[in-house]
Chains A and B, each alone.
Chain A
Amino acid sequence: MIQIVQQLLFVAAIGLTGYLVTKRARFIYRNIKLGKDLEIKGDSNKRFANMFRLAFGQQKMFDRPVVGLMHFAVYAGFLLINIEVLEIVIDGLTGQHRIFAAVIPSGIYHFLASFFEIMALLVTVSCFIFLIRRNALRIPRFHMAEMKGWPYRDANIILYAEIILMTMLFSMNAADAVLQTMGNSHYPAIGTFAISQFLVPIFSGLSETTLVAIERSAWWVHIIGIFAFSVYITYSKHLHIFLAFPNTYFAKMEPKGEMTNMDSVTNEVKIMLGMPVETTDTGDSDEMPTFGAKDVQDLTWRNVMNAYSCTECGRCTSQCPANITGKKLSPRKVMMDVRDRAEEIGKNIDSNGGTFQDDGKSLYGDFITKEELMACTSCNACTEACPINIDPLGIILDMRRYVAMEESSTPQEWNMVFNNIENNQAPWAFSASDRFKWGEELRTQEIKKTVTEKENA
């Protein structure tokens, strides 16, 4: 009877998790699609290679080797422990405890279970160190203005949660080991495992009922914790554990210095210069295009996916010359703002029956200020630093296009540059007719040739 109830509860828990995760995934997918379409260039083999190197292999994480190793341990631990979770899920659904022990040779089972425990220990230790790093060592990039409140708690919650989950795993296995020696039919004899064996003495003196209760409680907390975790991460910066993959696959492959061409402008410029225009569209679309980005809908879907993938690690910001010298710009904040605004727009759409109702706000102005945008030197330090190839610069430059072309509110000095380029063909106010003066002066300079003369062809 108890068994059936447990199975039913388990099915309910898994169903609820599935429902919540799917709902949230749909919401995020739709929000990413708020961004404009974008042509993905570059061949797919290189994209896969990127994904393997950066997402699977975490290559850039190893730029800081010690942290890289710990992060890798947590990541590998996470991946591998999922095999164990599969066994637990089968257990939950069928009531068949340790199903894999029955189907694979006991030596292998024993080895695997021990291996998972070692991974689990590494995860625990890494999480402890990460907690200390975040909270006690006061590394500046974890404590900047944009990291106050929720982002700060988010990072800690996940670390505590992982430690609890791993502790449960160990308790479960230790209690199990003692139960095996009592000949309980539900607990087949498979022996003790690498780490939990050291916890066995703690449990040895307890009665069978107590032990079963402990084992089952730890089991439930562990699996419910994992379910809760899967829902939680969809609201958290930890979404990167999934989105890092598509994010590195779809990342910008063009040279970092290349800005996207605005085709809508090309046509107009051609008309202005009296050049022939070959357009694919008929040119009489009813809407005037917006030049540059004011809100999330003006960005590309890749920009929005970048925002949902951002881990808020702040490596970008810690390399940003503007930020280093005390300016307001922080590329991490740019990414967090895009995500926050996308969430806001998404909720707006959902509560207004599927269409966005103007809320009088926009990404530019309400989230990201002109001062921040104007401080960027387009140096690409942020894009280089990001472990998963997020591109804050593309967003900043697109928003600058809005400031210049829609709002016409670029700083006065830049307006002068625009005038000079237009009138003098140079950003400075020199006369265009003096452009070649340097060359004419040089031509009067006598030189001594030091090599054998070989006339210009």
Chain B
Amino acid sequence: MADTNFLKVPTMAEMVEQGKHPEVLFWVGCAGSYDDRYKRVITAFVKILNEVNVNFAVLGPEESCTGDPARRAGNEFLFQMQAMQNIEVLNAYEIKKIVTACPHCFNTIKNEYPALGGNYEVMHHSQFLQSLINEGRLSVAGGEAFKGKKVTFHDSCYLGRANDVYEAPRSVLEALDADLVEMKRCKTNGLCCGAGGAQMFKEPEKGNKDINIERTEEAIGTGAEVVAVGCPFCMTMIGDGIKNKEKEKDVQVMDIAELVATSKGL
């Protein structure tokens, strides 16, 4: 029973106006809001949420940087300013559950906001997708797009080592029937993309090589056609690495959400 509709991206303010409360708040993050490449990931995720009728909302204009880069760069004042203002907004809307596609937002809201009075159930979008699949709300079987395609997953430090989330993204990829190949350094031994700890925003220190190049070489070395990522920073870093190696034609960098959306033809 197909019928036409418009994509829904309700904001919390609009929801409250209509006297509704969402099942989950989608925390978009700065990259999702402004970065052109990453907006496509957010779009893919919104399409999935629409497709399976998840009752969600975003903060929209009321969202602000979580403060993660400020804190890792040493500016605790700025971090706490950001955190407390965000917590005020979230608490005012009585938010209980948050899903985000950014491991840095995920880590900060989940682990660091409680000390400042913000307590929420926080999920990374790979965990959320996995739960949708497990609950039978999202079916990806039958998606031919990635069947048997070699895909490798790059573990984000802030998802993996920082929070022990290794299986969720992999199980989503397996559900796609992709041929999952692991890099030599994966899971607990994963190699950083080079962007965490606010490195995203400055030139690296002197060395022999940039970290993202080292990681990209390893990813390319697996022979995978798709490098799957679950983090906006990893996406940029590996994407740049692929460009640097002039492999854009052979290797794609795609977020978990994009893979799911593509396989479903969304």
What residue of chain A has the Cβ atom nearest to residue B210's Cβ? A325
A380 touches B8 (CB 8 A): no
Does residue A454 face the partner (Cβ distance < 8 Å to B)? yes
Does residue B16 face the partner (Cβ distance < 8 Å to A)? no
Q: What does the 1/0 interface line of A424-454 toward B look like (CB < 8 Å)?
A: 0111101011111111101111111111111
Known A-B contacts A328-B205, A444-B6; the reply to A321 vs B194 at CB < 8 A is: yes
A435 touches B60 (CB 8 A): yes
Known A-B contacts A322-B211, A439-B11, A453-B3; the reply to A375 vs B204 at CB < 8 A is: yes
Assembled-state Cα–Cα distance A432/B61 (Å): 7
Does residue A251 face the partner (Cβ distance < 8 Å to B)? no
Assembled-state Cα–Cα distance A393/B43 (Å): 35
A410 touches B2 (CB 8 A): no
Assembled-state Cα–Cα distance A443/B30 (Å): 19
Does residue B81 face the partner (Cβ distance < 8 Å to A)? yes
Which segment of A42-50, A176-184, A239-247, A267-275 sits at the interface?
A: A267-275
Does residue A414 face the partner (Cβ distance < 8 Å to B)? yes
What residue of chain B has the Cβ atom nearest to residue A265's Cβ? B76
Assembled-state Cα–Cα distance A255/B161 (Å): 9
- Residues of B near A430 (CB, < 8 A) are 33-34
- Residues of A near B112 (CB, < 8 A) are 258-259, 261
B76 touches A446 (CB 8 A): no
B4 touches A321 (CB 8 A): no
Which segment of A192-200, A349-357, A398-406 sits at the interface?
A: A398-406
Q: What does the 1/0 interface line of B52-68 toward A look like (CB < 8 Å)?
A: 11010010110111010
Does residue B84 face the partner (Cβ distance < 8 Å to A)? yes
Does residue B182 face the partner (Cβ distance < 8 Å to A)? no
Assembled-state Cα–Cα distance A375/B112 (Å): 23
- Residues of B near A378 (CB, < 8 A) are 72, 157, 196-197
Does residue B141 face the partner (Cβ distance < 8 Å to A)? no
Min CB distance A386 to B, Å, is 12
A439 touches B162 (CB 8 A): no
What residue of chain A has the Cβ atom nearest to residue B60's Cβ? A436
How many B residues, CB 8 Å from partner? 89
Question: Known pairs A381-B191, A446-B7. 15 more at Cβ < 8 A?
Answer: A261-B115, A262-B80, A268-B77, A325-B210, A327-B205, A375-B207, A401-B76, A403-B74, A411-B202, A421-B78, A426-B30, A437-B33, A442-B43, A442-B46, A449-B5
Does residue B20 face the partner (Cβ distance < 8 Å to A)? yes
5 tightest A-B CB contacts, nearest first: A257-B162, A404-B74, A378-B197, A326-B208, A326-B207
Does residue A35 face the partner (Cβ distance < 8 Å to B)? no
Q: What are 20 residue pairs bridging A and B, where the CB atoms are less than 8 Å apart in the complex?
A: A257-B107, A259-B71, A261-B115, A292-B76, A322-B207, A322-B211, A327-B207, A404-B74, A413-B202, A421-B69, A422-B81, A428-B34, A435-B60, A436-B11, A442-B43, A447-B50, A449-B2, A450-B265, A453-B53, A454-B53
B20, B189, B198 — most chain A CB neighbours (10 Å): B198
- Residues of B near A434 (CB, < 8 A) are 34
Assembled-state Cα–Cα distance A425/B65 (Å): 5
What residue of chain A has the Cβ atom nearest to residue B107's Cβ? A257
A325 touches B39 (CB 8 A): no
Known A-B contacts A326-B208, A421-B67; the reply to A427 vs B201 at CB < 8 A is: yes
Q: What does the 1/0 interface line of A204-246 toward B look like (CB < 8 Å)?
A: 0000000000000000000000000000000000000000000
Within 8 A of B (CB), among A322-355: 322, 324-329
- Residues of B near A443 (CB, < 8 A) are 6-9
Min CB distance B129 to A, Å, is 16
What residue of chain B has the Cβ atom nearest to residue A383's Cβ? B161
Does residue B131 face the partner (Cβ distance < 8 Å to A)? no
B197 touches A377 (CB 8 A): yes
Does residue B144 face the partner (Cβ distance < 8 Å to A)? no
A379 touches B196 (CB 8 A): yes
A405 touches B74 (CB 8 A): yes
User: Which of A272, A383, A400, A450 contacts B73 (CB under 8 A)?
Assistant: A400
Assembled-state Cα–Cα distance A416/B69 (Å): 12
Does residue A13 face the partner (Cβ distance < 8 Å to B)? no
What residue of chain A has the Cβ atom nearest to residue B265's Cβ? A450
- Residues of A near B244 (CB, < 8 A) are none
B196 touches A447 (CB 8 A): no
Min CB distance A9 to B, Å, is 53
Does residue A374 face the partner (Cβ distance < 8 Å to B)? yes
Assembled-state Cα–Cα distance A376/B204 (Å): 10
A380 touches B5 (CB 8 A): no
A257 touches B47 (CB 8 A): no
- Residues of B near A447 (CB, < 8 A) are 4-7, 47, 50-51, 266
B76 touches A262 (CB 8 A): yes
User: Which of A377, A421, A428, A437 contacts B70 (CB under 8 A)?
Assistant: A421
Assembled-state Cα–Cα distance A271/B190 (Å): 41
A329 touches B61 (CB 8 A): no
Min CB distance B262 to A, Å, is 14
Within 8 A of B (CB), among A266-286: 266, 268-270, 272-273, 275
- Residues of A near B134 (CB, < 8 A) are none
User: Which of A258, A377, A436, A446 contacts B199 (CB under 8 A)?
Assistant: A377
